[in-house]
Amino acid sequence: MKLRGLDLIRTGLFLALCAAAIPAAFAQTYPTKPVRIVVPFAAGGGVDLTARILAQRLTERAGHTFFVENRTGASGIIGTEYVAKAAPDGYTLLVGSQTTQAVVPAMYGKVGYDALRDFVGVTEIATSPLLIVVHPSLPVRTVKDLVALAKAQPGQLSFGAASGGTPHMAGELFKLSAGVDLLFVPYKGEGPAVADAMGGQISMVFSNLPVSLPLARSGKLRGLAVTSLQRVSTAPDIPTASESGLPQYEASTWFGLFAPSAVQRDIVTKLHAESVAALNVPEVKGRMAAQGLFVVANTPDAFAAHLKKEIPRWAKVVKDSGVKPE
């Protein structure tokens, strides 16, 4: 029996409505099984800590487990590439940072992922400023003093960090912004670099706030400035580098939740809503702040706009400083 014209129209509308309802229905039932959040660095660092706080809260809200899996190696490339090539079903996510999305691709020249093409940003989770700290014997008390001493002794002052991480790139940006020559000493991690700064083997470090602030308060190191554009609530007495003679100098670490780019938009929307709700809980904000992390929880569009600025910004720092993989 042939369908008349009106019947055909009704059938077409019905099928179209059914097709449109499939993604929405899928999002409503997501997740139906455990969700893997890949951290491309070892346990215990800032990326790992951020991911675990978020995973715990998402598990409580979703009724299904969100678990962290550390896939380390090659400065974060291995874990990041793994997520880029994972099935875009929302069950394999990434917590990355400017190191994985901006710095490392620029340093290595070619990696197995494109930070903009292969990922969709769900939300920027948090940001964490650094603290510029020097050995107490160094005759400087401000950023201006440090710049003046570095210019008077080119190549004599040193700073240490793990190659390619934010503490390293903060130092390279400082060199470019201030027009000074500092000697970079590579370390396997932040801890050994800070220990050598306390021992006087190196002149300074650009260190994550939770690590360096207690040492500055105790006098084991001298804090000069934070690297965010605004002073931080946990150390309001410490000026920013920007207000201390380096206008617009900013080198905060940021952490974001990503999914493979082909994931359904409805899943991104649900992940974003659940993540923002989890991150805005006062207890979570307090726990983050205690670790020097300040919640952002922005929209996917705002995070995408941020990424489009950050990726070329850090690529330029890598190029202008001549940084190479260690």
Average pLDDT, the chain: 89
The listed CATH number (3.30.450.150, 1.10.540.10, 3.40.50.80, 3.40.190.10) that belongs to domain 130-244: 3.40.190.10
- Per-residue pLDDT, averaged over 247-256, amounts to 92
- Per-residue pLDDT, averaged over 199-214, amounts to 92
- Per-residue pLDDT, averaged over 216-237, amounts to 93
Alpha-carbon gap, residue 70 to 83, rounded angstroms: 12
Cβ neighbors of 242 (< 8 A, separation 6 or more) are: 229, 248, 249, 250
Alpha-carbon gap, residue 49 to 322, rounded angstroms: 31
Q: Looking at the predicted structure, is the pLDDT value of residue 149 above 70? A: yes
Angle at 225 between CA 140 and CA 139, to 5 degrees: 5
- Per-residue pLDDT, averaged over 38-51, amounts to 88
Looking at residue 33, its pLDDT comes to 94
Residue 154 tokens read as: 């080119």
Q: Looking at the predicted structure, is the pLDDT value of residue 267 above 60? A: yes
User: 3-class SS at 295?
Assistant: strand
- Per-residue pLDDT, averaged over 152-172, amounts to 94
Within 10 Å of residue 176's Cβ, how many Cβ atoms?
A: 14
Looking at residue 27, its pLDDT comes to 46
Question: Poorest-confidence range of 4-13, 186-195, 275-284?
Answer: 4-13
Cβ neighbors of 58 (< 8 A, separation 6 or more) are: 35, 66, 274, 275, 278
The listed CATH number (3.40.50.1110, 3.30.300.30, 3.40.190.150, 3.40.50.2300) that belongs to domain 32-128+253-321: 3.40.190.150
- H/E/C letters for each residue in 78-111? HHHHHHHCCCCCCCEEEEEEHHHHHHHHHHHCCC
Residue type at 112 in one-letter notation: G
Residue type at 12 in one-letter notation: G
Looking at residue 135, its pLDDT comes to 96
Looking at residue 28, its pLDDT comes to 60
Looking at residue 283, its pLDDT comes to 93
Of 59, 51, 56, 54, whose CA–CA distance to 83 is shortest? 51
Looking at residue 155, its pLDDT comes to 95
For the chain, give every residue range classified as CATH 3.40.190.150. 32-128+253-321
- Please, where are the H alpha helices in 130-255? 143-152, 166-178, 190-199, 209-218
Burial of 324 (0-12, 13-18, 19+ CB in 10 A): exposed
Q: How confident is the model at residue 44 (pLDDT cuts 50, 70, 90)?
A: confident
Q: Looking at the predicted structure, is the pLDDT value of residue 144 above 80? A: yes
Q: How confident is the model at residue 233 (pLDDT cuts 50, 70, 90)?
A: confident
End-to-end CA distance of the chain, in Å?
74
User: 3-class SS at 111?
Assistant: coil
Residue 5 tokens read as: 């014209």
Instruction: List, for residues 121-138, the tens digit of each pLDDT value.
Output: 999 999 999 999 999 999
Q: How confident is the model at residue 190 (pLDDT cuts 50, 70, 90)?
A: confident
Q: Looking at the predicted structure, is the pLDDT value of residue 18 above 60? A: no
> Could you tell me which residue, 233 or 151, shows the higher pLDDT?
151
Looking at residue 15, its pLDDT comes to 43
Looking at residue 209, its pLDDT comes to 87
Q: Looking at the predicted structure, is the pLDDT value of residue 104 above 80? A: yes
Q: Looking at the predicted structure, is the pLDDT value of residue 194 above 70? A: yes
Alpha-carbon gap, residue 155 to 189, rounded angstroms: 22
For the chain, give every residue range classified as CATH 3.40.190.10. 130-244
